[in-house]
Amino acid sequence: MKKILFSLGIATIALAGFAQPKVLSHRGFYTNPMTDENSLQALKQAQELHKTMGLEACEFDVHKTADGELIIYHNNEIKKGLHCQRSKWTDIQKHVLPYGNKIPTLREWFAQAKKTPDFKIALEMKTHASAAKETEVVHDIVALAKEMDMMNQVMFLSFSIHACKEFVRQAPGCYVIYNSASLHEKVDPDSAKALGFSAISYRVDVFLNHPQYIKRAKEIGIETYLWMVEDEYLVDWATAHDITWITTDFSDRILSYTKDLVKDKKKVKRLKKKMY
């Protein structure tokens, strides 16, 4: 009996080492079928993928308009003469996106997201004109999340380290991800932990050049996000290096591959030997 239990324990440890990365869908799920990124339709498609394939979360981008509305869009410029942060919502709300959708407000996004409470949403607060402005925007986001009872469903992230610090300060205990695309301006895992962040999110080239960050993050209990992951090689690399989350525009295809990969334990063993 002791031998059986010991063998089961070893098997459990081995299986734990083969955990697949979780998948974060980028700007909703807009690539199959095609729709406007960051639209309510993209969120609905991500929610459907959550139900059918187990998608864990989706990301979206938030700006504050000149007249104080929190809206969902990626770039600051919507079109010539129309900007997320410099224009008024009364003008922005008239704009029709390429696939016929309207730009949603954060309130509308939260209302739709609440329909799948076990599906996480990763709110990326875009950088704003000043630290003072970012403090104000964080306040408004947190206030709305609390008002709509969304704090347990939302993960907050930003490329602005000031905004990340403000989320920690204004909403103690919330989940905060620091995002970076730079090899030179980055926060290492120990610094992120000291600042109260829950995770670090780096572009592929940053983690490829600093794979030791992944091991250290795991040791001190913070999660790692790799972006963008659009092909099988990077899924293999993320799996071999125990990345917690991968961000992708093609969530259905990547989900299918990760689920098949985790079943192939021999392949995962080979990947870990080859890619470390």
Give the separation between CA 213 and CA 7, rounded to whole angstroms. Answer: 32
In contact, 126 and 120? CB cutoff 8 Å: no
Q: How is residue 162 written in tokens? A: 């000031």
The pTM of the whole model exceeds 0.75: yes
pLDDT digits (tens, 9 = 90+) for 120-172: 999 999 999 999 999 999 999 999 999 999 999 999 999 999 999 999 999 99
Select from 99, 11, 21 the least CA-distant residue to 258. 21
State the amino acid at position 112 in one-letter form: Q
Q: Going from the N-terminus, what domains does the chain have, and what CATH number goes with each?
A: 20-275 (3.20.20.190)
With a cut of 70, list the residues of the chain below it in pLDDT. 1-18, 185-186, 268, 271-276
State the amino acid at position 190 in one-letter form: D
